[in-house]
Amino acid sequence: MGRMTVNPAPTALWPAPHASGAVDATVHVPGSKSVTNRALVLAALASEPGWLRRPLRSRDTLLMAGALRALGVGIEEGVGPDGSGESWRVIPAALHGPATVDVGNAGTVMRFLPPVAALTDGPVRFDGDPRSYERPLSGVIDALRVLGARIDDDGRGALPLTVHGGGALDGGPVSVDASSSSQFVSALLLSAPRFNQGVEVRHTGATLPSMPHIRMTVDMLRAVGAQVDTPESGGEPGVWRVTPGALLGRDLTVEPDLSNAQPFLAAALVTGGKVVIPDWPARTTQPGDRLREIFTEMGGSCELTERGLEFTGSGAVHGIDVDLGEVGELTPGIAAVAALADSPSTLRGVAHLRLHETDRLAALTKEINELGGDVTETADGLHIRPRRLHGGVFHTYDDHRMATAGAIIGLAVDGVQIENVATTAKTLPDFPELWTGMLGD
């Protein structure tokens, strides 16, 4: 079992609202973290300014924007060309060091930015939350060294570290074991159009999690004019190639974060109610789109209409046996629903979650069991046998998805208190307001 990160500061307890009946609400979910942070990097590396509309403003994306600004990129508040508000104008500029980057505990910032830093003309120091020192990064560090970068770290292949930008990077072929995080592959691909020789990334590990997130990287690169060859476009299995070339400045509207839609859909499922999520994309690479299928198997039904995704619970919640390797970030919310189901569940393919914001397998097991549940860890996931749960404190370990998982359980179980609900600010700062708004609708 891995180590759970514990916030040493005493933090407030949030009484998770108990649902008195079936929810019936429309919830506007803010923009996708994964899309916003990729769009910021690509816009910063482009050869002309671009627009980002309805960007997510959360801890992870503000850290990304702050880091790019520290490297010289202009990111201004603005009104988009169509007059809509809530936009960022990204103005690329020569990338400079020295600079300091705070990654917080954002996987996207700690993995996507070292390749960008290698293109600057000076030292860029990376630091972050204590947990960021424990999260895997060696795939990015080792690969960048092979591609020509100079990096000082303390020998652990992790944060903190300094990338000594040389004004350019050779690029070329590189092998990486991305079995601990798909973000290693995404990181190398995102900056590769700016490497002298582009990149050829060959994944060498036995497994590769979160493929939809790699597809998101490829799609977004292509949308700004990059040439990318992938295993899916007829290339070799496990090999991605990016050709060097200039990137376009685009006008991109960010989709709602479908993984952050999860607790609201779960609310419809566990209360036998209905939730509508406006602007659910008809086609997307976001892993949260798989919820339509997973939560249907668990007892709900859904329909994409002109109002958005209309999701309805039947009143029954069923267990599920599912491999979540492609959609690991959905695991905490699925585990919460599974703990309230009428039959056991097996969640598989997510061993790498032990190195996410916290050890999510250990944290879910401990917190659900402390409310009276019966969860056991397996080598790559969880067995969940539903039991009658009781109230108590649900600890979050600085993990936004633990907080939302606890809130789902609180809908059905009286007296659940979430410790440090404010940790949802990592990707969804408005969570408590959206949650109580949904219940009051």
Ligand X SMILES: O=C(O)C1=C[C@@H](OP(=O)(O)O)[C@@H](O)[C@H](O)C1
Ligand Y SMILES: C=C(OP(=O)(O)O)C(=O)O
Chain residues binding ligand Y by CB under 6 A are 106-108, 329, 356-357, 401, 427
Contacting range for ligand X; rule: CB under 6 A; set: 15-23, 176-184, 366-374, 380-388: 176-184
Report how many residues bind ligand X under the rule CB under 6 A: 13
Does residue 181 interact with ligand X by CB under 6 A?
A: yes
Catalytic residue among 134, 255, 329, 377: 329
Closer Cβ to ligand Y, 241 or 356, answer by number:
356
290 labeled part of a ligand binding site: no
Half-sphere exposure of 184 (CA within 13 A, CB side): 27
Interface mask toward ligand X for 272-311; x: CB under 6 A? ----------------------------------------
d(CA 2, CA 359): 6
Class of residue 104 by CB neighbours under 10 A (exposed 0-12, middle 13-18, buried 19+): buried
Residues 37-56 that bind ligand X (CB under 6 A): none
Pick from 55, 209, 272, 429 the residue near ligand X by CB under 6 A.
209
d(CA 289, CA 284): 7
Minimal distance, residue 400 CB to ligand X, in Å: 10
d(CA 109, CA 304): 33
Does residue 191 interact with ligand X by CB under 6 A?
A: no
Q: Which of 263, 273, 270 is nearest to 24 (CA)?
A: 273
Minimal distance, residue 328 CB to ligand X, in Å: 5
Residue type, 307: R
Pick from 53, 213, 292, 354 the residue near ligand X by CB under 6 A.
213
Residues 320-339 that bind ligand X (CB under 6 A): 328-329
User: With contact defined as beta carbons under 8 Å apart, do 260 and 103 qualify?
Assistant: no
Closer Cβ to ligand X, 33 or 274, answer by number:
33
Beta bridge partners of 312: 274, 301
148 labeled part of a ligand binding site: no
Phi, psi of 302 (to 5 degrees): -150, 160
Give the C-alpha distances (Å, rounded to integers) separating 20 from 24, 126, 309, 411.
12, 47, 24, 8
360 labeled part of a ligand binding site: yes
Minimal distance, residue 404 CB to ligand X, in Å: 13
Does residue 183 interact with ligand X by CB under 6 A?
A: yes
Closer Cβ to ligand Y, 108 or 396, answer by number:
108
User: With contact defined as beta carbons under 8 Å apart, do 138 and 213 qualify?
Assistant: no
213 binds, among ligand X, ligand Y, none (CB under 5 to 8 A by kind): ligand X
Structure tokens at 315: 């009143």
Does residue 262 interact with ligand X by CB under 6 A?
A: no
Q: Nearest-5° angle of CA 278, CA 182, CA 219? A: 50
120 binds, among ligand X, ligand Y, none (CB under 5 to 8 A by kind): none
Does residue 139 interact with ligand X by CB under 6 A?
A: no
d(CA 418, CA 399): 12
d(CA 117, CA 122): 8
For 79-145, strand residue ranges (E) read 87-91, 99-102, 123-127
Whether 303 is catalytic:
no
Residues 83-122 that bind ligand X (CB under 6 A): 107-108
Class of residue 342 by CB neighbours under 10 A (exposed 0-12, middle 13-18, buried 19+): exposed
DSSP state of 276: E
Cβ-based neighbours of 82, under 8 Å, separated by 6 or more: none
d(CA 259, CA 41): 21
Does residue 400 interact with ligand X by CB under 6 A?
A: no
Closer Cβ to ligand X, 266 or 327, answer by number:
327
354 labeled part of a ligand binding site: no
Does residue 34 interact with ligand X by CB under 6 A?
A: yes
User: Which alpha helices (H) appear in 307-399, and where do they start and end?
Assistant: 331-338, 360-370
Which residues are annotated as part of the binding site? 33-34, 38, 107, 135, 181-183, 210, 329, 356, 360, 401, 426
Active-site amino acid positions: 329
Binding site for ligand X (CB under 6 A): 34, 107-108, 181-183, 186, 209-210, 213, 328-329, 352
Which residues are annotated as part of the binding site for 3-phosphoshikimate? 33-34, 38, 181-183, 210, 329, 356
